[in-house]
Amino acid sequence: MPRAGLDPAAVTAAAAGLADEVGLANVTMGLVAERLGVRTPSLYKHVASQADLNRRIAALALVEVGDKLRDAMQGRAGRDALAAAAHTLRSYVVEHPGRYSATLPLNPQGPDDPIAIGGARVLESLAAVLAGYDIDPADTVHAMRLLRSLFHGFATIEAAGGFEMDTDVDKSFEWLIDFIDRGLKN
């Protein structure tokens, strides 16, 4: 019998896909193995543990979202950049709720942890958004935290089905972008 030809990336990708489909909490090692056409213990040749797998999913999500953010913001500034970043982030979380939720327990184990690297890239994009506004350098870190908290919170609540009357969530999101844009212009 030929081999399955797996590697850590393939296992991570399968797990991430499952996470989006059934929720991160329901991603079992057995389910991942089944998806890959392999027996459960075989996974341990590629990932150290389920915790390790979750960390890899988180890193994958951060890299993906970082890439999308960078792409979406090419050549944009000010309100345009803000809107692009916001929509990109929101779309990603809605499309990939499982992988995104893996990023919540942020425990980078060091500066070269893929999670830290991916996270830093996301933060770079947020910093790029702020660069389009005239902000007191002393307030930049505060503004970064504002964006991060707001987008993360909104996306998380939406992904969890936390908003009633789903109909005008889009409108709320636009309103919210506008609110931030006006505020950042002082």
Partner DNA sequence: AGCTAAAAGCTAATAGAGTTAGCCAACGAT
Partner DNA sequence: ATCGTTGGCTAACTCTATTAGCTTTTAGCT
**Of the listed pieces 42-50, 62-70, 111-119, 167-175, which binds DNA according to CB under 7 A?**
42-50
Q: Which residues contact 35 (CB under 8 A, 6 or more apart)?
A: 14, 17, 18
Distance CA 69, CA 53 (A): 24
Nearer to a second copy by Cβ, of 63 and 159: the residue is 159
Q: How far is the CB of 22 from a second copy (least distance, A)?
A: 13
- Site residues (CB under 8 A) for a second copy, limited to 87-116: 104-107
- Residue 5 touches which of a second copy, DNA, none (Cβ within 5-8 Å per kind): DNA
| Interior/surface letters 169-183, b for 16+ CB within 10 angstroms, e for the rest | beeebeeebeebbee
- CA dihedral sign of residues 99, 105, 111, 113: negative
- Residue 137 touches which of DNA, a second copy, none (Cβ within 5-8 Å per kind): none
Q: What single-letter DSSP state applies at residue 133?
A: S
167 binds a second copy (CB under 8 A): no
30 binds DNA (CB under 7 A): yes
Q: How far is the CB of 15 from DNA (least distance, A)?
A: 10
Question: Is there a contact between 82 and 180 (Cβ–Cβ < 8 Å)?
Answer: yes
Distance CA 170, CA 157 (A): 14
Q: How far is the CB of 64 from DNA (least distance, A)?
A: 23
Q: How far is the CB of 17 from DNA (least distance, A)?
A: 16
Distance CA 27, CA 56 (A): 14
Give the type of residue at 18. L
102 binds DNA (CB under 7 A): no
Question: Which residues make up the interface to a second copy (CB under 8 A)?
Answer: 104-107, 139, 141-142, 145-146, 148-154, 156-157, 160-163, 165, 168-169, 171-172, 175-176, 179-180, 182-183
